[in-house]
Amino acid sequence: MKIIGLTGGIGSGKTTVAKLFEELGVPVYNSDLKAKKLMQNSKKLRTAVIDLLGKESYVLQKLNKKYIADKIFDDKELLQKLNAIVHPAVRQDFIKWAKRKSAPYVIQEAAILFENNSYKTFDKIILVKAPKEVRVQRVLTRDAISEKEILTRMENQWDDSKKIPLADYVIENTDLEKTKIQVEKIHHELTKMVA
């Protein structure tokens, strides 16, 4: 079984692309959702997050996502420290999850595969990209955050020009029908590679 990384900056449409792969029968692991779940349910992670960011990280036993986002996205050092706590736990969870799958390949969807150097652990990398203004508009429509907050998050991620040379496949995600065609082509190639 091959392990494929699916990545892209905020608002690029990673989740849309992941759903298209799922429709083709490919198991997809959403790192962002799993990270939140692990931060919520793992006592060890919860303690480490509180030690790093304070008791306000949880309100009535629930992860306080807004508080955490406000703390880390303006502070690169704090963001790196949080990632150093959460990413190894997500990686272990992903490995366990992948072992339970019987498919030619599985996909791990994660926003920062290049930034944290984990891209080297994958057999192939798929990068999803879209123009900056399209990405900003998508996030404004989807999330209850300001344009300033979106741009701050973008600054914490590598620019696409830096990611493209490291990716095996690049999906330009601006038109859903064209994106579907690109996903089907990549799926065909990956399935053939594993066979």
d(CA 12, CA 84): 24
State the pLDDT at residue 129: 97
Confidence of residue 72 (pLDDT cuts 50, 70, 90): confident
The answer, yes or no, to whether residue 122 has pLDDT greater than 80, is yes
Neighbours of 17 (CB within 10 A): 25
Q: Residue 152: pLDDT band by 50, 70, 90 thresholds?
A: confident
Q: How confident is the model at residue 95 (pLDDT cuts 50, 70, 90)?
A: very high
Mean pLDDT score of the chain, rounded to an integer? 93
pLDDT (0 to 100) of residue 157: 86
CATH superfamily of domain region 1-27+105-195: P-loop containing nucleotide triphosphate hydrolases (3.40.50.300)
Please give the pLDDT value at position 112.
Answer: 85
Contact in structure between 72 and 78 (CB atoms under 8 Å) = yes
* 113 vs 185: CA distance, rounded Å: 22
Instruction: Say what the pTM is.
Output: 0.89
Reported as a pLDDT band with limits 50, 70 and 90, residue 93 is very high
Instruction: Say if residue 156's pLDDT is above 90.
Output: no
* pLDDT at residue 105 in the model: 97
* Position 74 confidence tier, pLDDT thresholds 50, 70, 90: confident
**CA 74, chain centre distance (Å):** 19
Reference 107, options 9, 21, 44; nearest CA is: 21
pLDDT of the residue at 2: 95
CA distance 60 to 4: 37
pLDDT at res. 168: 97
- Structural domain boundaries in the chain: 1-27+105-195, 30-100
pLDDT at 86 over 90: yes
